[in-house]
Amino acid sequence: MQASTHTDRSPSFALLEWYDRSARILPWRSPPGAPPPDPYRVWLSEVMLQQTTVAAVQPYFAKFVARWPTVAALAAADEADVMAAWAGLGYYSRARNLIACAREVARRGGFPDDEAALRALPGLGAYTAAAVAAIAFGRAAVVVDANVERVVSRLFAIVEPLPASRPAIRTATASITPDRRAGDFAQAMMDLGATVCTPRNPRCLLCPLRHDCRALARGLAETLPAKIAKKAKPQRTGHAWWIERHGAVWLVRRPDRGMLGSMRALPDDGWNAGADGHGMPPFVGDWRPAGVVRHGFTHFDLDLQLMLCAGDNLVQPLPCGPDGEFWPIDRIDEAGLPTVFAKAARLASAQR
């Protein structure tokens, strides 16, 4: 097993010793000290894990690598199939960037192995590029996610609130990032933040960095990182329309650009992050209310009124074309509906 270039008195040495004993077993990882994992698996997992928990990501990751085991296979996939497989993970721009990046990597013949070149790929920000460089290629990249922000804020007692403290956190993280085993170090920091240095009730007595932790020494551990209070999210309202005929429901394909782009969905009244819906049904018919779906997006909360109508009760026929189709209700889980519309489908099905 490789050793860190830092001394046995350094936080990185203590952390790597702890990681060798306590690393989480995750399907996209290699064991501590083992050769790096496939860059495709590292990249895919890091994209999925953005603003999403490990528990939520694991079944999606397994489904993706079973269906598309290589980046070349993902690059050749139909975009609609990828978006449907992603449904439920949220932040759907990640899925569109995933496809664009896979196609660019396939065109190049593989992932580049340095942080700057990774950063140039579609959809790879500073964090993801650093994580892939460190974990997949062993580069001494500085990897800072929310878990690392918390660990480093406490370790160095950085009291300035986020997000203004991020440059100081990055500098402090760089100061303890070892030249060797950088990937293990990055994952060790993530594991420490997820399992020991938790947001509430941190388990300081079990922490391998407790002797170096300035926040613990000052009695500040649970108060850091400091954050500016978030503004209350705006409340939006909208309507979705359930049109049923012969055991199938009318679904539309959303525009490529905008919220939930390119995904199948129920027709709606144009609600978005900045405005309520207009409330007008897409077709004249005998509509009846079926209840309200409540869903939280990143920047707003939505109350979505579901309206039902039998297809035979519409005044005009539904249009035919690539943007609309009748989908069998007993296979609605295969449609890849975004979560808000999947909730609406469950509400409608409960009333059938």
Cα–Cα distance for residue pair 229/26, rounded to 1 Å: 33
Which single residue is written with the structure tokens 């064991």?
Answer: 31
d(CA 127, CA 253): 32
- Do the beta carbons of residue 274 and residue 226 sit within 8 Å? no
3-state secondary structure of 95: helix
DSSP 36: P
Contact assessment for residue 177 and residue 142, using Cβ atoms and an 8 Å cutoff? yes
Q: Which of 46, 115, 149, 244 is catalytic?
A: 46
Q: Helical H runs in 180-252?
A: 182-195, 214-217
Dist. CA 83–CA 85, nearest whole Å: 5
Q: Is residue 160 annotated as a catalytic residue, yes or no?
A: no
Instruction: Give every CB contact of residue 22 below 8 A, 6+ residues apart in sequence.
Output: 191, 195
Instruction: Identify the bridge partners of residue 264 per DSSP, sorted by sequence position.
Output: 253
| Helical packing angle, 182-195 and 146-155, nearest 10° | 80
Distance CA 185, CA 283 (A): 58
Q: What angle do CA 47, 132, 124 make, to 5 degrees?
A: 50
CA distance 267 to 57: 28
Tokens representing 288 are 């009846």
**Residues belonging to the active site:** 46
